[in-house]
Amino acid sequence: MTAAPGPATAVSARIDLNADLGEGFSLYRVGDDAALLRVVTSCSVACGMHAGDPPTMRRTVQAAVAHGVAIGAHPSWPDRQGFGRREMRVDAHELHALVVYQIGALTGFVREAGARLAHVKAHGALYHQLSADAALGAAFIDAVRDCGATRRVYAQAGSAFARQAAQAGLDVVAEAFVDRAYTADGALASRARPGAVLTSDAQRIAQALSIAQHATVRGIDADGTRVDVAVAAGTLCLHGDSPGAAASARTIRAALEAAGVQVTAPPATARNSG
């Protein structure tokens, strides 16, 4: 992932808008899933490890089907207290089992609702560890293939895991984030860094349009200098647990469509037909 060498050119007439949903459990609600499902074109549903439970998973899947939103599984480390955002150290065999378990659980609810699982997207710390550890990446890829429900994964645009999954024959949809700042090397800025989470609609809209139309974002160099960073993506993520996510999603989608960008889920493929 490197800085763009020169002026960007328009690249995308269509893009997916996704959110991570089903992240409450029992009596607790996280985010406004009902409102988000009226705006996004795909979603990744928590599978019970970092968040979610069977009733929440079932309810979220049924609502997504009702709104015609493509459904993905969102497996995580078993870290409910840390919301899946703390790294864990397990071997590849254990990760494989954890991922199969979570995909299988959500797939049951998807099939019950008469739909098909569209993709798999890792959550939180696991999402990033897959690029840092090729053995974990391979275990995740094998788990997706072994489940047989889909061969599509969402992976961070330009990441090592995206390349690994593509080389393994999976259908990779490159993902970028409208509510997270990027560093000059194309990585997401640490949440501990001031300004790492983009909170205003103006910031989020500008980033969404820049990615969709020009495949670039304004990254932060080590000394705070703003630099253009190449980020080509097929899907844009807005975190469903962030305050005001539903209202923000509406303004982002409206801005994209006003700019002539079609907002739609990635097209189904033969390998993704279940």
For the stretch 14-58, pLDDT in tens is: 999 999 999 877 767 766 899 999 999 999 999 999 999 999 999
DSSP state of 79: -
Asked whether the whole model's pTM tops 0.75, one would answer yes
Q: Are 107 and 117 in contact (CB under 8 A)?
A: yes
What are the chain's domains?
14-272 (3.20.20.370)
The CA distance from 261 to 264, in Å, is 9
What distances in angstroms separate CA 140 from CA 128, 164, 212, 258, one per listed residue?
Answer: 12, 11, 28, 38
What percent of the chain is modeled with pLDDT above 90?
A: 74
Q: Are 185 and 177 in contact (CB under 8 A)?
A: no
Dump pLDDT digits (tens) for 197-238. Answer: 898 999 999 999 999 999 999 988 877 778 889 999 999 999
